[in-house]
Amino acid sequence: MSDSNKILNPNAREAMNRFKMEAAGEVGVTLKQGYNGDLSSKQAGSIGGQMVKKMIESYENGMH
């Protein structure tokens, strides 16, 4: 089994955590530091969806 999703750079890990917290706040989900396995699938999906939306917007804005 591979650990391909593991973030090795501590700075990248912190940036991703800030990005995730920001996205969670935008969709009205409160995240705790550390374990958040008690989130519903809907809540987790809304956070991931918001992150993807923001990444796409950032990419599109960089193309102009």
Phi and psi at residue 45, to the nearest 5°: -65, -35
Could you read off the pLDDT of 13-59 as tens digits, one per residue? 899 999 999 999 999 999 998 899 999 999 999 999 999 999 999 99
* pLDDT over threshold 70, residue 64: no
The total of structural domains in the chain comes to 1
Please tell me the distance from the alpha carbon of residue 38 to that of residue 22, in angstroms, as a whole number: 19
The band of 2, judged by pLDDT with boundaries at 50, 70 and 90, is low
How sure is the predictor about 61, in pLDDT bands with cuts at 50, 70 and 90? Answer: very high
Q: Residue 1 has what pLDDT?
A: 54
In a domain, 28, yes or no: no
For 53-56, which contacts have Cβ atoms below 8 Å and span 24 or more sequence positions? 54/19, 54/23
Residue 54's domain spans which residues?
40-64
Element (H, E) at 14: helix 10-26
pTM metric for this prediction: 0.78
